[in-house]
């Protein structure tokens, strides 16, 4: 029924077009009487149905694109040369495609039975066609896309991974020098280390708490391709640290969008603010009275200074809204974030701001907002960090932040099940390693 309607509709459209053209022809004959004979001949001899077909073809011709899209099934014994030769592609382009393909595999050994998607531009003046795109699978989950760059007509290629495999990994190490280098030694990629430091950033001051022979263990996801090659890291499921005689175990709990890290008692470790909004820095001047290094007289230092190399990223110590991002005089380039009705933080002497950081921008805890510099009244690269509680500047390093929420009732029960499952997974991962 639907199809019939569609066909009728199509017919009506073409008939309307036909009538329109016929009307113009009649009008034209009035103005150009010389053509009268031919016109009348045509209208007399043609049946309406045939006319519709003719007009249809005329329009199809008009809209016909010079691009041809082919899904070519690879036959055994096929080579790129053979396939493209058959499609009448210019020799020069075939050679460029082969050169690109050779970066990934042998152009004479294609996966028979798989399909290559080819887009060709028909060349009407010259007999050889040119290539727009050539997408060929080299494995079950990798496609090599070779295409012509629009501006320069250059032939380029890229690897497209169509399928990734998620795998749990366990990594552990003794901290010999610092967390970062010990984690790198344990083959953990930098993004995961940063996330690890962020999760523990509420509990541990990485500058002061870490002692030689402290220990960490971490279970996280890695995305790999079918050859086991690392593509990217996923989230951390479990993190353990033994620092300075203290043991902290954290479990990721929640759904993919909203999750949190909880200790063995089901208490969230995440707090409104992180202890230090910067990694790998040294506390160089604490909150309190001091002789100002530039002004020379005694003055209350209303923040905490962290010495770090110029360009080291600075994180938002809590989620909130940027209320200032600009020049603050003595503070140089500075950022102020309002976290809630109680807390605000200030970051000063920045070299520059992270992309998109401006007034009214919402930021997440741990998000990079700017980079260490020495702008304003400053003697060397450092971050001047202030925490403001109810409008009053306080010592960020002594600040007791309200602890995170605790899981209760059914949530707590679910967490306990999740915790046991995670512990079982860890035991399995450990035994696999041995």
Shortest distance, CB of residue 167 to Zn ion, whole angstroms?
45
Task: Measure the CA–CA gap between 345 and 330, rounded to whole angstroms.
Answer: 17
Give the distance from CA 339 to its chain's centroid.
Answer: 26
- Length of the chain (residues): 434
Residue with Cβ nearer Zn ion (1 or 289) = 289
Residue with Cβ nearer Zn ion (123 or 207) = 207
Shortest distance, CB of residue 317 to Zn ion, whole angstroms?
15
Shortest distance, CB of residue 359 to Zn ion, whole angstroms?
23
Distances from the Cα of 423 to the Cα of 13, 221, 398, angstroms: 69, 16, 34
The answer to whether residues 66 and 122 touch, using CB atoms and an 8 Å cutoff, is: yes
Shortest distance, CB of residue 296 to Zn ion, whole angstroms?
15
Coil, helix or strand at residue 283: strand
Residues in contact with Zn ion by CB under 5 A are 303, 305, 384
Residue with Cβ nearer Zn ion (198 or 393) = 393
Dihedral sign, Cα of residue 36, residue 41, residue 46, residue 51: negative
Residue with Cβ nearer Zn ion (214 or 305) = 305
Shortest distance, CB of residue 354 to Zn ion, whole angstroms?
21
Residue with Cβ nearer Zn ion (300 or 430) = 300
The answer to whether residues 101 and 135 touch, using CB atoms and an 8 Å cutoff, is: no
- Of 192, 90, 103, 193, nearest to 142 by C-alpha is 103
Task: Measure the CA–CA gap between 258 and 335, rounded to whole angstroms.
Answer: 27
The answer to whether residues 251 and 219 touch, using CB atoms and an 8 Å cutoff, is: no
Task: Measure the CA–CA gap between 389 and 391, rounded to whole angstroms.
Answer: 5
- Of 322, 357, 319, nearest to 337 by C-alpha is 322
Shortest distance, CB of residue 274 to Zn ion, whole angstroms?
18
Shortest distance, CB of residue 316 to Zn ion, whole angstroms?
18
Residue with the shortest CB distance to Zn ion: 384
Residue with Cβ nearer Zn ion (189 or 285) = 285
Residue with Cβ nearer Zn ion (293 or 356) = 293
Query: What are 96's two structure tokens?
Result: 């460029």
């Amino acid at each position: 029924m639907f199809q019939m309607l569609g066909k009728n509709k199509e017919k009506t459209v073409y008939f309307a077009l036909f009538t329109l053209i016929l009307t113009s022809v009649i009008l034209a004959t009035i103005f150009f009487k010389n053509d009268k004979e031919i016109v009348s001949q045509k209208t007399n001899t043609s049946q309406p149905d045939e006319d519709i077909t003719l007009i249809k073809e005329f329009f199809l011709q008009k809209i016909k694109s010079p691009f041809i899209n082919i899904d070519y099934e690879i036959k055994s014994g096929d080579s790129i040369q053979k396939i493209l030769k058959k499609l009448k592609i210019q020799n020069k382009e075939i050679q460029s495609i082969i050169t690109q393909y050779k970066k990934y595999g042998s152009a004479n050994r294609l996966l028979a039975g798989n399909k290559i998607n080819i887009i060709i531009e028909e060349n009407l003046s010259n007999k050889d066609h040119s290539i727009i795109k050539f997408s060929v699978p080299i494995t079950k989950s990798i496609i090599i896309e070779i295409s012509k760059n629009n501006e320069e007509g250059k032939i380029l290629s890229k690897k497209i991974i169509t399928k990734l495999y998620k795998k749990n990994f366990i990594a552990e190490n003794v901290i010999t020098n610092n967390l970062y280098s010990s984690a790198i030694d344990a083959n953990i990629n930098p993004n995961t280390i940063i996330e690890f430091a962020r999760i523990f950033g509420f509990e541990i001051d990485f500058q002061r708490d870490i002692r030689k022979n402290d220990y960490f263990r971490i279970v996280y996801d890695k995305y790999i391709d079918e050859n086991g090659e690392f593509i990217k890291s996923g989230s951390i499921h479990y993190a353990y640290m033994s620092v300075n005689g203290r043991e902290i175990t954290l479990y990721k709990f929640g759904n993919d969008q909203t999750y949190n890290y909880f200790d063995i008692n089901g208490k969230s470790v995440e707090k409104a603010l992180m202890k230090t909004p910067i990694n790998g820095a040294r506390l160089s001047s604490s909150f309190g009275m001091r002789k100002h290094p530039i002004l020379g007289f005694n003055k209350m230092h209303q923040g905490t200074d962290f010495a770090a190399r110029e360009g080291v990223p600075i994180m938002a110590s809590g989620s909130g809204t940027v209320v200032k991002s600009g020049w603050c005089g003595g503070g140089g380039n500075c950022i102020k974030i309002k976290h809630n009705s109680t807390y605000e933080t200030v970051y000063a002497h920045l070299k520059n701001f992270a992309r998109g950081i401006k007034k009214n921008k919402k930021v997440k805890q741990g998000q990079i907002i700017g980079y260490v510099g020495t702008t304003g009244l400053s003697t060397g690269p450092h971050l001047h960090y202030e925490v403001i509680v109810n409008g009053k500047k306080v010592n960020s390093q002594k600040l007791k932040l309200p602890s995170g929420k605790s899981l209760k009732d059914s949530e707590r029960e679910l967490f306990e099940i999740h915790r046991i499952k995670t512990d079982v997974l860890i035991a399995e991962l450990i035994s696999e390693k041995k």
